[in-house]
Amino acid sequence: MTDKPGFIGLGIMGLGMARNLLKAGFEVRVWNRTASKMDILAVEGAATATGPADLAAQCDLIFVCVSDTPDVQAVLLGENGVIHGAKAGSLVVDHSTISPNATKTIAAALNERGVQMLDAPISGGSEGAANGTLSIMIGGEAAQVERAMPYLQTMGKTITHVGPQGAGQMVKLVNQILVVGNALAMSEALVFAQAGGLDLEKTFNAVAGGAAGSWMFSNRAPQILNRDWRPGFTIDLQQKDLRLVKETADSLAAPIFATNIVFDMYRTLQAQGLGAEGNHALIKALERLANVTVAG
């Protein structure tokens, strides 16, 4: 029997992911807290639910992509949460980036009711969600990974079972250390190039394809040169991820020098009211210190 899929959380990432499930021919039921965000997928053929419990009652495979740890706790275990509607044998696949420790606690609560859970955080930005090319790093039981695989393959290209419950979230935090290191390097490099009076477009073309290249540089440097701060990933959510890295690194006594600096740079940008801008607006923190404006 084919599992009936449902999707909770139609934000920047969830909308594209749920749409790719629909496009692949699955009969998808969706729920989003702000109900109007369901309209676009309803027009494209998705069924809707009145809440997480209602969705869970009508689906076997429940994908979730919401913001932070308390939000996952609310939609899964809260008053009208998935746990109150899910049938025994259902599987929850959480794509949100949240605390690895809290993931284990949430999974245990679901397991007690006979509901399985995979932590399956994602990487690849809004572009990856829209194009079905995400990287998905999964923690949980191999049999459940196999069960979810045909659905995950509509959303991602690099799908890796990395270990037991919580391991997916740990690998995602590794991913975020790399992401912000790249963002910091990109910001320093562009401020340096501007200060040196270089042609920024030529500079970009010269280095993007070489050993200095990165997803961050290829996708976000052009946005910076256009002073386009629309978010693929907001500063507020990036800050949340770095908070998770810091908490986890502290518990492991693992040093994270650059990540700590970037955490505080983002904090200054949040204090200036820029939390809803894209994470590439990190460069504004350096621009202000250096009194340099990078413009292509």
Token code pair at residue 70: 């308390």
Tell whether residue 136 is a contact of ligand NAP (CB under 6 A).
no
Given the complex with ligand NAP, which of 38 and 200 has the nearer CB atom? 38
Q: Is there a contact between 276 and 230 (Cβ–Cβ < 8 Å)?
A: no
156-163 and 61-64 as β-strands: parallel, antiparallel, unpaired?
unpaired
Beta bridge partners of 64: 8, 94
Determine whether 37 is an active site residue: no
Give the span between the Cα atoms of 81 and 55, in whole angstroms. 9
Judged by CB under 6 A, which of 20, 90, 97, 259 binds ligand NAP?
Answer: 97
Question: Which DSSP category does 65 fall into?
Answer: -
Question: Which DSSP category does 209 fall into?
Answer: T
Closest CA to 229 of 148, 284, 182: 284
Given the complex with ligand NAP, which of 137 and 191 has the nearer CB atom? 137
Site for ligand NAP in 72-91 (CB under 6 A): 74-75
With CB atoms as reference, the residue minimizing the distance to ligand NAP is 11
Judged by CB under 6 A, how many residues of this single chain contact ligand NAP?
26
Judged by CB under 6 A, which of 99, 126, 165, 187 binds ligand NAP?
Answer: 126
Closest CA to 12 of 233, 241, 215, 213: 233
- What is the secondary structure of 66-96 as a DSSP string? -SSHHHHHHHHHSTT-GGGTPPTT-EEEE-S
Given the complex with ligand NAP, which of 27 and 71 has the nearer CB atom? 71
Site for ligand NAP in 231-270 (CB under 6 A): 232-233, 237, 241
Judged by CB under 6 A, which of 67, 160, 219, 260 binds ligand NAP?
Answer: 67
Tell whether residue 36 is a contact of ligand NAP (CB under 6 A).
no
Residue carrying structure tokens 């504004």: 284
Question: Which DSSP category does 38 fall into?
Answer: G
Give the span between the Cα atoms of 284 and 94, in whole angstroms. 33
Judged by CB under 6 A, which of 62, 93, 122, 294 binds ligand NAP?
Answer: 122
Token code pair at residue 230: 């629309």
From the CB of 10, what's the least distance to ligand NAP, in Å? 5
Closest CA to 224 of 264, 265, 188, 173: 188
Tell whether residue 37 is a contact of ligand NAP (CB under 6 A).
yes
Judged by CB under 6 A, which of 5, 6, 7, 14 binds ligand NAP?
Answer: 14
Given the complex with ligand NAP, which of 3 and 71 has the nearer CB atom? 71
Residue of 23, 37, 172, 284 with catalytic role: 172
Residues that bind ligand NAP (CB under 6 A): 9-14, 32-34, 37, 65-67, 71, 74-75, 96-97, 122-123, 125-126, 232-233, 237, 241
Active-site amino acid positions: 172
